[in-house]
Amino acid sequence: MTIVVDGIRFNVRLDGPETAPVLMLSNSLSSNLTMWEPQMEALTRRWRVLRYDQRGHGATQVSPRPFAVDDLADDAVGILDALGIAKVHFCGVSMGGMTGMSLLRRHRARVERAVLANTAAHMGPPDLWNQRIRTVRAGGMEAVVDATVARWLTAGFRASAPEAVASIRAMILSTPPEGYAACCAAIRDMDQRESIRAITSPVLVIIGAHDPATTPQAGALVEAAIAGARAVTLDGAHLTNIEQPEAFSTAVADFLSAMP
């Protein structure tokens, strides 16, 4: 379905029992809602799963103006408002996790429990992001796809799962370059290292043991900054939900189902 928030058309999908509690999933940079397919069978057993494509990704419209990570969190709230959903569990990978941190800071009444996977509260230096923006504007997503796949997936997984790798590669190539560039700028300008100390909701941090992008150290900093947060480390790189789908799904389900 299409939902308009802040003048932008968002691609949104709901799966699972209509009467079940809602779990909102938020995608990473240069991906779309199909990145969650490995989790859908397990998660829809217990939850009404709400997926959406972030700004400028998948079938969601590219924003006509610059924006910040806080705007991405407001997008999530706008989708919930349009659907009449008061409160959700939340799970986001990478940029989706950054969105989740802002959501927990600024809209805490809307989230019960949150999973922040393969993410960071700050990602420098700015020159890294500026270079990616220049590269993709000059050469399209073809200019960044190989490096992205190498960061996202370990060499062992890339060698053993060519079909999965091909699917991920196609997803990256389908991302609008200007959507990618705008989100790169939002990540470049983000610094939530101090502000996430105000988060009081239950949080699970999922870390990839071999993640070169949002490193284990970055994940540990998020865990340490949020009072009561827990962490689990999975044997994978940046997309642990792809490399370790069962372990990822189990970690999410166990945490969201835990008693207070």
Q: What is the pLDDT of residues 95-110, one digit of tens each?
A: 999 999 999 999 999 9
pLDDT above 90: percentage of residues in the chain = 98
Task: Look at strands 8-15 and 2-5 and give their pairing.
Answer: antiparallel
How far is CA 89 from its chain centroid? 14
What is the Cα–Cα distance from 1 to 17, expressed in whole angstroms?
A: 17
Residue 219 confidence (pLDDT): 98
pLDDT recorded at residue 258: 85
Q: Which amino acid is located at 21 in the chain?
A: P
Contact 88, 50 (CB under 8 A): yes
pLDDT given at position 260: 65
DSSP 75-115: HHHHHHHHHT---EEEEEETHHHHHHHHHHHH-GGGEEEEE
Q: Taking a C-beta distance cutoff of 8 angstroms, is the pair 129, 187 a contact?
A: yes
pLDDT tens column, 114-142: 999 999 999 989 999 999 999 999 999 99
- Residues in Cβ contact with 253 at an 8 Å cutoff, skipping those fewer than 6 apart: 42, 43, 46
Round the average pLDDT of the chain to a whole number and report it.
Answer: 97
- The structural domain count of the chain equals 1
What does the alpha-carbon distance between residue 55 and residue 22 come to, in Å, rounded to a whole number? 21
Segments forming the whole domain that contains residue 241: 2-257
What CATH number did the domain enclosing 18 receive? 3.40.50.1820
- Judged against a pLDDT cut of 90, whether residue 259 lies above it is answered with no
